[in-house]
């Protein structure tokens, strides 16, 4: 039976492979371009046309003062916003995954709403609220805005990661004489920590990269994306590409590290189990 | 205020017997109070009253927790964990939406008034829906085309990773996600390099003498790829592709391969097995992905700004322009509200049939 279809089947399979390969290529072409143009020596103000290969940009990645300080602003905001949102979001996730209670369906829907609302609506409406209350725009307003969209994200991500977590482990620890708080910190927390860390990392990345919501709530404060947006009208310097490449390599290293660490941990655990 | 009173009554009746009602009631009460204060439903002295009411609720809650013992604390716990995050969302997600609605019905008293007052001014909506109709239509059609393109590009990729990825699945998924850790704006600017007039793609098309073909397909305009609708749609497609690949992958991964084998054993061809078994089972991911691509694409203004021209502006560009440049908050808010209503209707229809699970 299989021979009758095998030729067409194989052609179909090959088609899927080619399409998947092409899609991956499509995903990576702009990334190659970003890295490539970080080695460009542009004539004029726009780093758009390839001219000459140079290492100057990488030798002086922080020469553009405004760009560098904008990056620091972004990292600082992301750090604070991520800490706050990870705590609040994780609490929500634990509530939803651990307990059965009234209104959990409504809470679920309410959590998804900020994720499905267009960013421009979130940004402009929050800015309207701040305008109404004459709150000065700056660090505080940006952090508030970032925490707002990160909470849902963290809650949903952590909930997905700890779905199927065996909460009776905590009960077991308590049966063996641990206090509830000790049982939580010694048993539950270490087990759900990887999920929380993953959510925190992703939401950190979301914060650093957020443009639309920040644009409305920044006032005169300039974050990294805002600096790029503002600069793109006047000048696109190759340092932008250098810093972007650095961010890329850092996150790749981080992800690879997390993957390897996770695998090693898995192996260790399965090792102890098989003994 | 009525909610506060009813919450108070509720306590009296259920304090001892149903602590979970106390937890739920206090959560709703605090949320409502937070919205009322932030969105200025109450002003002046009455806002103090609301604050006192909220404080009383907290005190009552603490009392219930202490008086009720372990069981009571256990049934209060889920609401306790929810409260901080929920109040944050009430303050900075719900209350702003209310402010936006109020603003969308406001108008400036005089030309030199900086701040608009609430006047039931529906004129803003008329302007939003007539003057900015082209932008609305463009937003939804660009986002729609981009969504279809992400399915065409993303489905085979997700399929490949799920069924042929083997032990490299995670690495491949990582490859899909990693590029999106570079800045969104820089990624979009990179298409500027690729599609530029002297760039590689345009010169390739020129050397192959395909300019005419692309122009009749309306992908090129005047021999240019940049600053065309196609460039904007291309940017949207590229930027939101992972939102399509990941949900489709998740639903494909759940499929039991034996189902496909069974279909083949029952003499279905490979394409029949795909159409009748794999595709229907991957529809949840496909729908979730479509929603997750369509929504940000419809509200986006970065791609239209960097890759488009004045004839490709989307509703996001108009909102941004009216809000931040013209300082015309009422019309900007009216446009935002219309956009949100349309998107919310789509989301509610979706969740009615599919639930909220796949959106994560």
Give pLDDT tens digits for A126-142: 999 999 888 999 999 99
Residues B66 and B181 in one domain: no
**Does residue B121 form part of some domain?**
no
**Does residue B263 form part of some domain?**
yes
Measured between beta carbons, the chain A residues lying within 8 angstroms of B175 are 24, 27-28
Half-sphere exposure of A77 (CA within 13 A, CB side): 32
* Domain region containing B87: 2-104
Q: B301–A212: do the CB atoms touch at under 8 Å?
A: yes
pLDDT of amino acid A1: 44
pLDDT of amino acid B3: 64
**Does residue B113 form part of some domain?**
no
Measured between beta carbons, the chain B residues lying within 8 angstroms of A23 are 153-154, 156-157, 241
Which has the minimum average pLDDT: A170-174, A190-194, B210-214, B243-247?
B210-214
**Does residue A168 form part of some domain?**
yes
**Does residue B336 form part of some domain?**
yes
Residue with tokens 């991500």: A157
**Does residue B120 form part of some domain?**
no
Residue of A nearest to B181 (CA): A248
Residues B30 and B78 in one domain: yes
pLDDT of amino acid A2: 46
Q: How far is A165 from chain B, CA to nearest CA, in Å? A: 16
One pLDDT digit (tens) per residue for chain B, 360 residues: 566 666 665 555 555 567 778 888 888 999 999 999 888 888 888 889 999 999 999 998 888 888 877 888 888 888 889 999 999 999 999 999 999 999 999 987 766 667 888 888 899 999 999 999 999 999 999 999 999 999 999 999 999 999 998 888 888 998 898 887 888 999 999 998 899 888 888 888 888 888 888 888 878 888 788 899 999 999 999 999 999 999 999 999 988 888 888 888 888 887 888 888 889 999 999 999 999 999 999 999 999 999 999 999 999 999 999 999 989 999 999 999 999 999 999 988 888 888 777 776
Indicate the number of domains in chain B.
Answer: 2
| Confidence band, pLDDT 50/70/90 cuts, at residue A227 | very high
What is the spatial distance between Cα B247 and Cα B284, in angstroms, rounded to a whole number?
8
* Domain region containing A111: 65-236
Give the pairing of strands B106-107 and B117-118.
antiparallel
How many angstroms separate the Cα of A178 from the Cα of each of A169, A187, A192, B78? 12, 10, 19, 22
pLDDT of amino acid A98: 85
Residues B100 and B190 in one domain: no
Measured between beta carbons, the chain A residues lying within 8 angstroms of B39 are 129
One DSSP character per residue, B66-118 reads: HHSHHHHHHHHHHHHHHHHHHHHHIIIIIHHHHHHHHHHTEE-SSTT-SS-EE
Last residue of a domain, one of B58, B74, B104: B104
pLDDT of amino acid B256: 87
Report the residue count for chain B: 360
Residues B156 and B10 in one domain: no
Residues B173 and B210 in one domain: yes
**Does residue B283 form part of some domain?**
yes
**Does residue A118 form part of some domain?**
yes
pLDDT of amino acid A273: 45
Between B94 and A10, the more confident residue is B94
Instruction: Identify the CATH number of the domain in which residue B154 sits.
Output: 1.10.3720.10
Residues B147 and B179 in one domain: yes
Q: B157–A19: do the CB atoms touch at under 8 Å?
A: yes
**Does residue A108 form part of some domain?**
yes
Residues B305 and B345 in one domain: yes
Q: How far is B134 from chain A, CA to nearest CA, in Å? A: 18
Q: B185–A116: do the CB atoms touch at under 8 Å?
A: no
Instruction: Identify the CATH number of the domain in which residue A168 sits.
Output: 1.10.3720.10
Indicate the number of domains in chain A.
Answer: 1
Helix ranges restricted to H, chain A = 2-37, 56-59, 65-98, 104-116, 119-132, 139-161, 168-175, 180-183, 189-209, 212-217, 224-231, 238-274
Residues B162 and B222 in one domain: yes
Report the 10 Å Cβ neighbour count for A219. Answer: 15
Measured between beta carbons, the chain B residues lying within 8 angstroms of A129 are 38-39, 92, 95-96, 99
Q: A48–B192: do the CB atoms touch at under 8 Å?
A: yes
Q: A232–B84: do the CB atoms touch at under 8 Å?
A: no
Give pLDDT tens digits for A11-41: 888 899 999 999 999 999 999 999 998 998 8
pLDDT of amino acid A47: 78
Provide the β-strand partners of residue A46. A236
Measured between beta carbons, the chain A residues lying within 8 angstroms of B86 are 92, 107, 110
Report the 10 Å Cβ neighbour count for B297. Answer: 29
Q: A132–B99: do the CB atoms touch at under 8 Å?
A: yes
Q: Both tokens of residue B291?
A: 């929603």
**Does residue B28 form part of some domain?**
yes
| Confidence band, pLDDT 50/70/90 cuts, at residue A275 | very low
Residue of B nearest to A228 (CA): B185
Q: B299–A212: do the CB atoms touch at under 8 Å?
A: yes
Q: B186–A103: do the CB atoms touch at under 8 Å?
A: no
Residues B212 and B330 in one domain: yes
């Amino acid at each position: 039976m299989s021979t009758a279809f095998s030729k067409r089947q194989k052609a179909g399979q090959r088609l899927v492979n080619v399409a998947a390969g092409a899609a991956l290529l499509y995903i990576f072409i702009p990334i190659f371009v970003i890295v490539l143009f970080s080695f460009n020596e542009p004539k004029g103000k726009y780093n758009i046309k390839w001219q000459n290969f140079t290492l100057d940009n990488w030798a002086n990645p922080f020469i553009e003062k405004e760009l560098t300080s904008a990056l620091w602003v972004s990292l600082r905001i992301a750090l604070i916003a991520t800490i706050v949102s990870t705590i609040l979001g994780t609490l929500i996730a634990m509530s939803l995954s651990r307990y059965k209670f009234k209104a959990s369906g409504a809470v679920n829907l309410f959590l998804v709403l900020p994720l499905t609302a267009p960013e421009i609506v979130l940004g402009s409406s929050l800015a309207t609220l701040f305008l109404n209350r004459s709150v000065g725009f700056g660090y505080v307003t940006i952090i508030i805005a970032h925490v707002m969209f990160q909470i849902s994200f963290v809650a949903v991500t952590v909930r997905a990661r700890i779905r199927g977590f065996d909460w009776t482990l905590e009960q077991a620890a308590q049966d063996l004489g641990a206090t509830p708080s000790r049982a939580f910190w010694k048993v539950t927390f270490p087990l759900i920590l990887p999920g929380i860390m993953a959510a925190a990392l992703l939401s950190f990345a979301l914060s650093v990269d957020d443009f639309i919501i920040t644009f409305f709530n920044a006032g005169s404060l300039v974050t990294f994306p805002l600096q790029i947006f503002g600069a793109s009208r006047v000048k696109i310097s190759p340092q932008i590409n250098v810093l972007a490449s650095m961010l890329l390599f850092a996150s790749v290293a981080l992800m690879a590290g997390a993957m390897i660490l996770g695998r090693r941990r898995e192996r260790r655990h399965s090792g102890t189990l098989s003994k | 205020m009525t909610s506060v009173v009813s919450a108070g009554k509720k306590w009296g009746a259920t304090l001892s017997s149903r602590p979970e009602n106390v937890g739920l009631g206090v959560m709703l009460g605090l949320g409502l109070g937070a919205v009322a204060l932030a969105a200025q439903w109450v002003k002046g002295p009455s806002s103090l009253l609301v604050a006192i009411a909220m404080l009383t609720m907290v005190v009552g809650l603490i009392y219930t927790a202490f008086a009720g013992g372990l069981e009571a604390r256990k049934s209060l716990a889920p609401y306790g964990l929810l409260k901080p995050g929920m109040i944050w969302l009430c303050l900075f997600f719900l209350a702003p939406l209310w402010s936006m609605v109020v603003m969308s019905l406001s108008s400036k008293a005089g030309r030199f008034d900086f701040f608009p007052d609430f006047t039931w001014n529906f004129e803003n909506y008329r302007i939003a829906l007539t003057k900015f109709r082209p932008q609305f239509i463009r937003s939804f059609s660009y986002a729609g085309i981009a969504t279809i393109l992400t399915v065409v590009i993303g489905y085979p990729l997700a399929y490949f990773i799920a069924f042929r990825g083997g032990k490299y699945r995670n690495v491949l998924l990582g490859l899909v996600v990693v590029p999106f850790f570079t800045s969104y704006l820089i990624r979009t600017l990179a298409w500027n390099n690729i599609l530029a007039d002297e760039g590689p793609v345009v010169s390739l098309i020129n050397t192959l003498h395909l300019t005419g073909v692309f122009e009749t397909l309306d992908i090129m305009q005047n021999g240019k790829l940049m600053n065309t609708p196609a460039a904007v749609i291309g940017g949207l497609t590229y930027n939101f592709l992972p939102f399509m690949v990941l949900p489709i992958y998740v639903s494909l991964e759940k499929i039991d391969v034996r189902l496909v084998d069974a279909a083949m054993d029952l003499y279905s061809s490979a394409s029949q097995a795909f159409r009748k078994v794999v595709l229907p089972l991957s529809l949840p991911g496909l729908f979730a992905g479509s929603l997750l691509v369509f929504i940000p694409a419809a509200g986006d203004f970065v791609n239209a700004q960097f890759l488009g021209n004045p004839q490709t502006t989307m509703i996001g560009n108009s909102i941004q322009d009216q809000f931040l440049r013209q300082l015309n908050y009422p019309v900007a808010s009216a446009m935002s509200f219309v956009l949100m209503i349309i998107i919310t209707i789509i989301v509610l229809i979706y969740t009615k049939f599919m639930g909220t699970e796949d959106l994560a």
